[in-house]
């Protein structure tokens, strides 16, 4: 009898822009997620539930079994909380770049010079 392969769901958080600017430390962000991801309403259940966080130079990947029903929304929530804790929330936002990934981007800031020129 052949066993069915268990499928996993992977979510990616792309931190390329802030890491290149040396604003964000991916290792600290990974530890923050590891300490705070809840499974079944409890933190610290990642190893028992086969949820794995892997880190590249600028990306974090969270792999979870399909039947666990791990939420992508929880990653966005924790990412926003981490940015607030690091006092970066005013400058960065978490944007869904595809179905299974988020990206940390800077806010678009336009100069206020346009209003002054129109009054003259």
SS3 call for 43: strand
Structure tokens at 92: 């960065």
pLDDT tens across 3-51, in order?
A: 656 789 999 999 999 999 999 999 999 999 999 999 888 888 888 889 9
pLDDT, greater one: 114 or 19: 19
Q: Give yes or no for residue 117 having a pLDDT over 50.
A: no
By the 10 Å C-beta count (0-12 exposed, 13-18 middle, 19+ buried), 17 is classed as middle
Burial 46-81 (b: 16+ CB within 10 A, else e): beeeebebebeebbbbbebeeeeebebebbbebbee
SS3 call for 40: coil
pLDDT for position 5: 65
Among residues 101, 74, 90, the alpha carbon closest in space to that of 16 is found at 101
pLDDT for position 20: 92
pLDDT tens across 53-111, in order?
A: 999 999 999 999 988 888 899 999 999 999 999 999 999 999 999 999 999 999 887 76
């Amino acid at each position: 009898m052949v066993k069915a392969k268990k499928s996993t769901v992977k979510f990616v958080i792309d931190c390329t822009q802030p890491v290149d600017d040396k604003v964000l430390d991916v290792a600290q962000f990974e530890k923050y997620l590891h300490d705070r991801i809840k499974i079944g309403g409890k933190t610290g259940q990642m190893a028992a539930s086969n949820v794995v966080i892997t880190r590249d130079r600028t990306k974090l990947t969270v792999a979870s079994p399909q039947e666990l029903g791990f939420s992508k929304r929880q990653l966005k929530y924790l990412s926003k909380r981490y940015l607030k804790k690091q006092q970066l929330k005013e400058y960065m936002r978490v944007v869904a770049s595809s179905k299974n990934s988020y990206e940390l981007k800077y806010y678009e800031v336009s100069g206020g010079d346009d209003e002054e020129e129109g009054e003259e």
